[in-house]
Structure 1
Amino acid sequence: MNDDTPTATDRSRLTRRTYLQGLVASGVLAAGGSLTASAAESADIEQLGAGSIAHVKPESAGAPPRTVYATEDLDAPYPSNDWWTTLLWRELSENLWVHPLAARVTESGLAVTYPDEWEVRDAPFSSGPRQDDFATMGPNGPIDADLTLGHPAVGDGTEARVADYGDWSATYRRTDGDASIDVTLTQGSPFVYCETENGGVEVAFGDDVDNDVSVWHEREHVLGVTVNGHHYGLFAPPGASWDGVDDGVATSDLKGEGYASVALLPEASPKILNAYRRRAYAFVTDTTVSWEYDADRSAVVTEYSYELDAKHGGSKETLTALYPHQARWVQEDLTDWSYVSPRGEMPVRAGSSFTTEHPYRGLLPFLPDVADVPNLADHVDSVEESSPLIRDWQGEGTYWTGKNFERLLQLAPIAEQVGDDAAADTFHEAMRDELETWFSAGSDGEVDQTDLFWYDDVWGTLNGTPMGFGADADLNDHHFHYGYWVKAAAELARVDPEWAAEDQYGGVVNQLVRDYANPDRDDDRYPFLRNFSPYAGHSWASGSGELPAGCNQESSSEAINAYAALVLWGEATGNEELRDVGIYLYTHEIHAALEYWFDVADENIPDQWGYDYAAIVWGSGYKYATWFNQDAEAIHAINYLPVGGHSLYLGWNREAADANWQEFLENDGGDGQFDLGWYTDVLWEFRALSDPDEALSWYENGYSTGDFGESRAHTAHWLYTLDVVGTPDATVSADTALYAVFRDGDTRTYVAHNAGNEPETVTFSDGTELTVPAGETATTARTVESPTLSGAFPSVDERASEQQASNGRGNGKK
């Protein structure tokens, strides 16, 4: 420690932000995601400031497989929770939902197909009376191959090992003696790339003799084939040839060059084949996402870049199909080509990169004190007087403990607003005590067996004990669980910055952050953005993807909560890097949720399915059911909860929120009587985002609490506040991270929170200014004439027109 580091005496004279920034400058609190740890108590316990984690597995804990199917030159930390990570978990693979392609590593090679038709059937992986609740473009079992790509000298059953990966690409290798084949798949790409040693490639058409195969172009090194109505181009090096085409297995020695590619074509035409041929030899060797939070415009600018290896012809561009959440906000031109996918239409971009710009509309740590809520202080007291404040409900573990935290962190600011500082202290102390219990892995060199976190160096992950939901053995749901913990830590940092310092308990908090949302690719402990799939634009809850339908995520709202927690933690501790990655993740997760779970533009979920909303998004499609039941109350609430100042996006489009509510009522019997009773307050809190009057009427005529993470105080505060300020207005932005805007008729209310130690003047995009004192939330209101947010979510073409009109750029076709 250098002489500039604040001493204990100095800290009493420092504001929160100055104190934490001083630790960054001195190196005690390392910036950039790198952590500084003091000497460990023992080889089994790593001391991190005042806290610690274990480096051995407690006896009752689960762990992912001890064998990782990766080549020897790849080490931990290994990615998980992505479309391709099944390759790390088994010798071959489950179905790989690459989009627009689907693939599977089989004994004989890579099976490839193009799922392009919807099927509606009873949902797999759940039980119950509801029928036809799964809309999928894929089978319940292995995909039916159009093509199988392999190496003639690599025998059946040879295991596949991951040899390389990028942010949304992966390469596996199969080796048999001195022969090998590397195959690269890239999400969004119509190309499959292969490189071979000591031999060429073979491509078998279809699975059996009944396949419909036609060869419509055969000229030396390029083939055009149609299999089962799907069109492909096969590209060998110039001078090479394809043999055995008429027998259903095309082989090429690749003229000794050792490379070839296969492309899914939008149509069977020489013109298209030639256009794809020009890009077929620019092999994707890496994929990289980067982002910038532009505070002045309250936008997230994201760049998707491809590293290309020109095998022939020197091409500097590839082709990639964009998901709707990308195509709607892309800044560059797109081609006229497109594919279908389980996420919707995917238009094609030609180039080596593209950029999107998504609006960020802020979040709040809690709603402001603007409403007269009857008996609010009494409701706070009723919780304060209950014992214990941290309690079991469905069970112990990191998830249910996190739900406890959510209830208390929402209550503490409300207690402050009613002037009950003693209750706020009680709620903070309960969270602090529980966090510190888990943040100590043992004593005297002995590791505890429960209520701790331990680091698994085989995979590079931080697991808790106990966890549940396969979070330890399958690496499921880490963002769901840890988001609650980081959010609780952010609330403590708001009132006690010293507790959050790196040399106190912030070191362990940052381990949780790095486990599920690490922004550093060079981290030697945790993978890059574990749960978030950069190209898909959202997280996956499944760690391994070990089901035929691929990865899945049920609660988009808990993923959004996890990234909101990151924003709050970054703001509270003065860590702009963590705040900015939080804003990037939060913003993308929201836009993906609106596209794929809620389909507010009515463009992505299939018309022939009986629902306009999905509780679970899968690699292959959508499901109107939960993992734990098929009751409409749970099916809808699972994508609302937890409700808080981060949830306002659910009301950006008031008409869409109302439509979702009406669909929920229809599927729940239509009478508004919630028989399940688990989520009553959550459901009505959601309703307040489209109809505050109706939600408040319910509360005043028959309130009943439901979700374990809720309280009457928070529900009442939420409903009465929205009754005063109206619903969220996403047409107005601000130049600060923590803000929200509401609209009630011709009155617009502006809210901002200042986590800093100096007053801040916030400027809103309509010219309104608001001065916010340090550490406080401020509001102002004004009468406006501009229209509020309409019910229409912009289509891709409408968004293109907006961009072209505003800055001369757009995503128009060419």
Structure 2
Amino acid sequence: MFSPRATRSTNSTISTGSAGSHTPIGRRRSRIAAPVALLAGAALLAGCTGGPAASVEGTSSASGTATGDGGGSGAAGSPAPTDAAVTAALAGIDQQSVAKIAPTRLADGLVPPTNRWFSGLVYGDEPLPVFPNPLSIKLSDTGLALGLPQVTATEKTIMGGINPQIQLPLGAAKMTVTAYDTLSVTATYSAADGAALGSVTLVQGSPYVTYTAATDQTIPVEPIFTPSASGGPASVTVAGHEYGLVVGQGATLGTAGSGTPGAVTLPAGGTMTVFAAADGMSLADLAATASDPVVGGDVSYQVSGDTVSTTLQYRTAGGGPTAIVPMAGTTVTAGAATDGTYPTIYGSAGIYTGTSVTVQAPLTQPASELDLSGLSDADRQAVADQVRTDAAAVLADNFSATDTYFGGKFLYRATTLMTLADQLGLSDVAGQLRTALTAQVKQWFSAKGCADATATKCFVYDPTAKTVIGQQASFGSDEINDHHFHYGYLLYAAAVLAKDDAALKAEITPVADLLVADIASSQATADFPQYRNFDPYAGHAWASGSSPFGDGNNQESSSEAVNAWNAVALWGQVTDDQQLTTQGEWMMSTEAASAKRYWTNTDLSEFAGFTHSIVALNWGGKRDYATWFSAEPGAALGIQLIPMGPYSQYLAGDADRIKANLAEGASGGYGVQFGEYMAQYLALADPAAAKAQLGNLPAEIDNATTKAYVMAYVLSRADSSD
């Protein structure tokens, strides 16, 4: 997650870097604020260290395979049409301009690209570094700089921030993002009089950065690239990193005998491409595909059997092959591998050649209830007794939280409790909870709920920011932070309640569809960006709306991201929308695999200086053992577990790693914050040991769950043969 949300951390502080100045948890942070280091009593200050895509159409076949396609052109002004149901829902909901962020460098006609790896280019006083992998890149109004990150590791941080070793001073006066798609972003540079000078396209997974001139110009590249005597690319070495440069479409590189040494002269349409050498692959090999610049990308996905696949498709100017660098550690099932690798903060990343690669992840099935069939009679009775106790407390509280995060958690908590009551035959308790929940869900999902200025449990659509925002913002949700975390809880409750209530489903569907469109629109339209939070290349979501950080965007709560896509898939099932169900399964499974790969079960063998078993907070340019809200080890692990839904078996599979993570996270026992989730996590590795910890849970259970649900989860593992 981007913002702190733990209920028992309200007195914690985050250092802002100014002597004697701290920002209380829960308030908006400045862009130089950093997560709290996981060292008791201390805070860590980390340095500041489009366009529309084509629609995704899911289909299913008798073989059990479902596919979808996304991506497309980045041209402004050509959005796909908004789904008719979403259009109708937009016409019915209150509309207000309430977002507290606005683009400062975005071309007219483009939907604001929040929650992207490149959002820092679009928002704020000045463009911030971005990390499309494997390069780090810094754009400014006058030019750009790039370089391979210098990857280092300390006790709590794996660092690979901006490393501006190659400078391209363009002599421009302004930079504007003029197009983007699923994999790329294009920035156009203009002179003081507004005339376009040229553009640069940055592409995830590409080692190339290409500048295309819009008018005749000469660019004094720094440092000077030396032409190869053997006919290979021009090259330069900076602090041990070798870089190559190729020119095309009439551009020339000045030499001692021709023009200014090191300067590139470009006619209109001329190109120059800079790239970094790789381990095990020569500059000449990389130069072979550098001359055909990447101009955009597309993504398609497939859900088949027990796997999901994501295909990253790269489009070049001439239609030829290119070099592609998937995220480190992913399982590549289609693509022409080379011997080359790049060092990244996520590990060594391989290089493939061609026009696409396909990566695969195991299927994580959406779920809304536990399997209680293995519970003993005694355990069923113990859980039933606790359900009655917890239900009384939940109903007495009367859903007091009114913001979208805690309000969503309260609905989720009551929904899982209602489901347990149904499963255990407690019809009176289930009925009471259903009645109370139905009233709450109707309030939250009322299209005109915000017509009353004093209302809180409601949403508006911001037609300028192109997003749905809760009337009572929390943790920067009005800066478009964390929408997937918040709305996942709300959509889960809506899906479970509407499953057996056709009238309720009809009433809440318009607003529920808008929440889905806000965080997971299957296509880029004039009203919503495609996927908003979810990054198909990275395989996970980004939490910050504007990404006002020098280390790129970030995500902390990997498990709440999985919870969001579980809710999207469940809503697809309830509304008989097979395409949405398939999309939700793909996003959920991909995010779950990434959660293990980069957060809980990450391979740290290349980072000897990093001394912890998990990474709590991943960025574009660094990885931290730190959280936004607490310095406790249990917080670092617990925020990767919350809310431990019925689908959370994806965290299983390596009992030794689970125990190693708990040896640190639960070193102080299970009576700490998030101890209830850690007990459930232990049940995935050692059910008997987890059952023994049920008497040692914290006195105050997190407000996304109940003691009854924790008991049922643990006992369903301990009393089964699994």
Please give the range of the TM-score, normalised by the shorter of the 2 chains: 0.7 to 0.9
Change (3 A) 1:657 1:245: farther
Structure-2 residue corresponding to 1:96: 130
Query: What CA deviation, in whole Å up to 9, does each residue of 1:174-216 have, x standing for no partner?
Result: 111335120011011100011112223525325xxxxxx7747
- Aligned residue for 1:333, secondary structure, equals strand
Question: Take 2:82 and 2:425, find their aligned partners in 1: how far apart are those partners?
Answer: 37
Are the aligned partners of 1:540 and 1:553 in contact in 2 as well (CA < 8 Å)?
Answer: yes
Question: Take 1:179 and 1:299, find their aligned partners in 2: how far apart are those partners?
Answer: 46
Structure-2 residue corresponding to 1:547: 549
Are the aligned partners of 2:82 and 2:527 in contact in 1 as well (CA < 8 Å)?
Answer: no
Cα deviation, residue 35, structure 1: 4.0
Aligned partner of 2:105 among 39, 61, 69: 69
Query: What CA deviation, in whole Å up to 9, does each residue of 1:577-604 have, x standing for no partner?
Result: 1111111101110111111112344456
Cα deviation, residue 231, structure 1: 1.3
Asked if 1:323 corresponds to 2:297, the answer is no
Matches within 5 A, 1:347-386: 347-370=350-373, 371-372=375-376, 373=379, 374-386=381-393
Asked if 1:234 corresponds to 2:245, the answer is yes
Structure-2 residue corresponding to 1:56: 96
Are the aligned partners of 1:680 and 1:707 in contact in 2 as well (CA < 8 Å)?
Answer: no
Change (3 A) 1:252 1:599: same
Asked if 1:303 corresponds to 2:311, the answer is yes
RMSD between superposed Cα atoms in Å: 2.7
Structure-1 residue corresponding to 2:660: 659
Matches within 5 A, 1:414-813: 414-442=420-448, 449-473=455-479, 475-501=480-506, 504-521=507-524, 523-603=525-605, 606-665=607-666, 670-672=667-669, 674=671, 677-700=672-695, 704-726=699-721, 743=722
Aligned partner of 1:36 among 73, 77, 85: 85
Are the aligned partners of 1:33 and 1:519 in contact in 2 as well (CA < 8 Å)?
Answer: no
Q: Aligned AA for 1:100?
A: P
- Aligned residue for 2:221, secondary structure, equals strand
- Aligned residue for 2:618, secondary structure, equals strand
- Aligned residue for 1:94, secondary structure, equals coil
Are the aligned partners of 1:220 and 1:239 in contact in 2 as well (CA < 8 Å)?
Answer: no
Question: Take 2:664 and 2:260, find their aligned partners in 1: how far apart are those partners?
Answer: 49
Change (3 A) 1:351 1:382: same
Q: Aligned AA for 1:482?
A: Y
Question: Take 2:396 and 2:520, find their aligned partners in 1: how far apart are those partners?
Answer: 29
Question: Take 1:496 and 1:415, find their aligned partners in 2: how far apart are those partners?
Answer: 17
Question: Take 1:420 and 1:409, find their aligned partners in 2: how far apart are those partners?
Answer: 14
Change (3 A) 1:420 1:248: farther
Change (3 A) 1:591 1:437: same
Question: Take 1:609 and 1:648, find their aligned partners in 2: how far apart are those partners?
Answer: 27
Query: What CA deviation, in whole Å up to 9, does each residue of 1:42-83 have, x standing for no partner?
Result: xxx942xxxxx21124xxx54322x442223x333x221111
Question: Take 1:661 and 1:445, find their aligned partners in 2: how far apart are those partners?
Answer: 48
Structure-1 residue corresponding to 2:202: 185
Question: Take 1:648 and 1:325, find their aligned partners in 2: how far apart are those partners?
Answer: 21
Change (3 A) 1:318 1:623: same
Question: Take 1:517 and 1:603, find their aligned partners in 2: how far apart are those partners?
Answer: 34
Question: Take 1:367 and 1:391, find their aligned partners in 2: how far apart are those partners?
Answer: 25
Structure-1 residue corresponding to 2:294: 284
Question: Take 2:522 and 2:511, find their aligned partners in 1: how far apart are those partners?
Answer: 17
Structure-2 residue corresponding to 1:346: 349
Change (3 A) 1:493 1:531: same
Are the aligned partners of 1:160 and 1:173 in contact in 2 as well (CA < 8 Å)?
Answer: yes
Query: What CA deviation, in whole Å up to 9, does each residue of 1:715-772 have, x standing for no partner?
Result: 111111110225xxxxxxxxxxxxxxxx3xxxxxxxxxxxxxxxxxxxxxxxxxxxxx
- Aligned residue for 2:245, secondary structure, equals strand
Are the aligned partners of 1:91 and 1:161 in contact in 2 as well (CA < 8 Å)?
Answer: no
Cα deviation, residue 487, structure 1: 0.5
Aligned partner of 1:110 among 130, 144, 155: 144
Question: Take 2:605 and 2:641, find their aligned partners in 1: how far apart are those partners?
Answer: 21
Change (3 A) 1:180 1:704: same
Question: Take 1:453 and 1:248, find their aligned partners in 2: how far apart are those partners?
Answer: 59
Change (3 A) 1:457 1:431: same
State which structure, 1 or 2, has the greater radius of gyration over its C-alpha atoms.
1
Structure-1 residue corresponding to 2:160: 137
Are the aligned partners of 1:221 and 1:239 in contact in 2 as well (CA < 8 Å)?
Answer: no
Question: Take 2:553 and 2:679, find their aligned partners in 1: how far apart are those partners?
Answer: 30
Q: Aligned AA for 2:309?
A: V
Question: Take 2:340 and 2:693, find their aligned partners in 1: how far apart are those partners?
Answer: 50
Cα deviation, residue 621, structure 1: 1.9
Are the aligned partners of 1:451 and 1:464 in contact in 2 as well (CA < 8 Å)?
Answer: yes
Cα deviation, residue 696, structure 1: 0.6
- Aligned residue for 1:160, secondary structure, equals strand
Are the aligned partners of 2:443 and 2:449 in contact in 1 as well (CA < 8 Å)?
Answer: no
- Aligned residue for 2:284, secondary structure, equals helix
Change (3 A) 1:107 1:364: closer
Q: Aligned AA for 1:233?
A: G
Are the aligned partners of 2:166 and 2:222 in contact in 1 as well (CA < 8 Å)?
Answer: yes
Change (3 A) 1:150 1:196: farther
Cα deviation, residue 255, structure 1: 5.0
- Aligned residue for 1:630, secondary structure, equals coil
Structure-1 residue corresponding to 2:180: 165
Percentage of matched positions with identical amino acids: 27
Question: Take 1:318 and 1:37, find their aligned partners in 2: how far apart are those partners?
Answer: 38
Structure-2 residue corresponding to 1:253: 265
Q: Aligned AA for 1:524?
A: A
Question: Take 2:689 and 2:260, find their aligned partners in 1: how far apart are those partners?
Answer: 64
Question: Take 2:230 and 2:125, find their aligned partners in 1: how far apart are those partners?
Answer: 37
Question: Take 1:227 and 1:245, find their aligned partners in 2: how far apart are those partners?
Answer: 21
Are the aligned partners of 1:482 and 1:562 in contact in 2 as well (CA < 8 Å)?
Answer: yes
Structure-1 residue corresponding to 2:282: 272
Are the aligned partners of 2:277 and 2:283 in contact in 1 as well (CA < 8 Å)?
Answer: yes
Q: Aligned AA for 2:160?
A: M
Q: Which ranges in structure 1 are unaligned for 5 or more consecutive residues?
A: 1-31, 48-52, 121-131, 207-212, 727-742, 744-814
Query: What CA deviation, in whole Å up to 9, does each residue of 1:131-159 have, x standing for no partner?
Result: x4222122xxxx342111243xx34xx22
Taking structure 2 as the reference length, the TM-score comes to: 0.83
Change (3 A) 1:416 1:69: same
Question: Take 2:345 and 2:220, find their aligned partners in 1: how far apart are those partners?
Answer: 26
Change (3 A) 1:387 1:535: closer
Query: What CA deviation, in whole Å up to 9, does each residue of 1:559-588 have, x standing for no partner?
Result: 000011112111222111111111110111
Structure-2 residue corresponding to 1:128: none
Query: What CA deviation, in whole Å up to 9, does each residue of 1:670-722 have, x standing for no partner?
Result: 35253xx3322112111111111111112146774521112121111111111
- Aligned residue for 1:645, secondary structure, equals coil
Question: Take 2:454 and 2:168, find their aligned partners in 1: how far apart are those partners?
Answer: 50
Q: Aligned AA for 2:289?
A: R
Cα deviation, residue 387, structure 1: 5.8
Question: Take 1:349 and 1:387, find their aligned partners in 2: how far apart are those partners?
Answer: 54
